[in-house]
Amino acid sequence: MMHNQLNSHIEVEIKRERGNLSRREMDVLLQIKDGLRNPEIAGNLGLSTKTVENHVRSILQKLGAKNRTEAVVIALKNSMIDI
């Protein structure tokens, strides 16, 4: 029983960590989900491509993802975004 409680606690901590995306990071993530590349995202959000690159890097780090696709999958699995 103690083992299950520990696993539940760890899962809650992971979800809390993953839920710490800023509003702008969420905006970028939603556009990544739609298949847009950084220059397109930058144009849509009125940001520089470099700023979008920084947001993408932060998203990947916060979600523990290796790439953009994995970030979207993690966000979907954790009900952070919808299809």
Could you read off the pLDDT of 28-61 as tens digits, one per residue?
999 999 999 999 999 999 999 999 999 999 999 9
61 φ/ψ sector (left φ>0, alpha ψ -120 to 50, else beta): alpha
Spell out the domains of the chain, with CATH numbers in brackets: 2-77 (1.10.10.10)
Distance of CA 40 to CAs 26, 44, 48, Å? 16, 6, 10
What predicted TM-score, i.e. pTM, was given to this entire model? Answer: 0.78
Confidence at 12, pLDDT banded by 50, 70, 90:
low
